[in-house]
Chains A and B, each alone.
Chain A
């Protein structure tokens, strides 16, 4: 079973920030939080991951709460091409269990 809870769907206006939440209240101390996205009919694409600290790369920012029980993926300026299913995953020892993810729709 997936160890994360995400909203089923979200909408975001083009050019605005998209904030995708994820709950992982049973996360263990050595488990990483990973985010992937999947555009229709393609393989999942790695976005970002983190353990305790907030992380930022060219695609997104990851904010992890101090107790590590939840996190937020931030796409700072969403474009239409960011429309996809976003998966939040807690990974430990090569075990990556995907849930159903959040379907993000970016609207013009």
Chain B
């Protein structure tokens, strides 16, 4: 257990529905990252926050994807109008901004879109 928690661990939804995932980082970590991982591939970076500021979002997969970190603590990732191709593991990581950037990952949320 790294101290990064994600909820839910599994989500099954029907195509067209909206889903929201939550990530709670390690408490003193000011950076928070979201990744997507499909079967047989390594994690793919989506976006990251420094405190409440979203510093990189150009690699979000489409405008159906959005993320927030309103108070600089937990974060949510929302996918609107889900498609079957969104089925994947969504991973959250956090790090402490001090020189190197060792990221600690949560257990992930597995999304299945029917």
Residues of A bordering B, CB below 8 Å: 2, 32, 34, 36, 41-46, 49, 85, 87, 91, 94-101
Contacts and interface: CB of A to CB of B under 8 A. Distances in A.
Given A94-B48, A94-B56, A96-B101, A87 B107 contact: no
B100 A32 contact: yes
Interface in B16-55: 31, 33, 40-45, 48, 55
8 contacts: A43-B91, A45-B2, A46-B102, A91-B101, A96-B103, A97-B45, A98-B43, A100-B42
Central interface residue in B41, B56, B101, B107, by most chain A CB within 10 Å: B101
Nearest to A34: B102
Contacts of B100: 32, 49, 91
